[in-house]
Amino acid sequence: MQRFEGRVAVITGAGSGIGRATALRLAEEGASVVAVDLDQAAGERVAKESGGLFVAADVTDEAAVERVYAEVKAVYGRIDVAFNNAGISPPEDDSILETGLDAWRRVQEVNLTSVYLCCRHVLPYMREQGGGPSSTPRRSWPPWAPPPPRSPTPPARAGCSR
């Protein structure tokens, strides 16, 4: 069944892992996929695999995020799905006693502020076209699983859940 036929899906962090798997699955379901990543080689590979478009962007850069959705709108004329998936879990994201302020700030920027930026810049397009937006912050840690033993990640995740 082609549940996403005629739909345009923008996936950040599409170059790897969950983003890549989502891009391929949505393409299988008929969506036009836009793979967004700061890793050009990985993003281009996934765009090719999914028959979609690659747009390079660092999701912590507001101007870059704004350009992503403007380009998608210019190419496809609509945006139906925004999967704000890009995120990091660097090795220095550790116990709160070990995590330095730079690592803390970087994780909040990439895992939380980026979600704000993506929602802020995609929702006007979705509202304009009507039909009900689909914008998801990011896959969260399953509620039944114990949280990972890290300090910056849970607050960033909690910020995405409301």
Ligand X SMILES: NC(=O)c1ccc[n+]([C@@H]2O[C@H](COP(=O)([O-])OP(=O)(O)OC[C@H]3O[C@@H](n4cnc5c(N)ncnc54)[C@H](O)[C@@H]3O)[C@@H](O)[C@H]2O)c1
Using CB under 6 A as the criterion, which residues of the chain lie in contact with ligand X when the complex forms? 12-13, 15-19, 37-39, 42, 58-60, 85-89, 110-111, 138-139, 141
Residues 6+ apart with CB under 8 A from 98: 92
State the nearest-atom distance from the C-beta of 80 to ligand X, in Å.
Answer: 21
Nearer to ligand X (CB atom), residue 42 or residue 126: 42
Residues 6+ apart with CB under 8 A from 74: none
Nearer to ligand X (CB atom), residue 88 or residue 123: 88
Give the CB-nearest residue to ligand X: 87
Q: How many CB atoms lie under 10 A from the CB of residue 77?
A: 10
Nearer to ligand X (CB atom), residue 90 or residue 129: 90
Chain length of the chain: 162
State the nearest-atom distance from the C-beta of 141 to ligand X, in Å.
Answer: 5
Contact of 50 with 24, CB cutoff 8 Å: yes
State the nearest-atom distance from the C-beta of 109 to ligand X, in Å.
Answer: 8
Gap between the Cα atoms of 115 and 73, Å rounded: 19
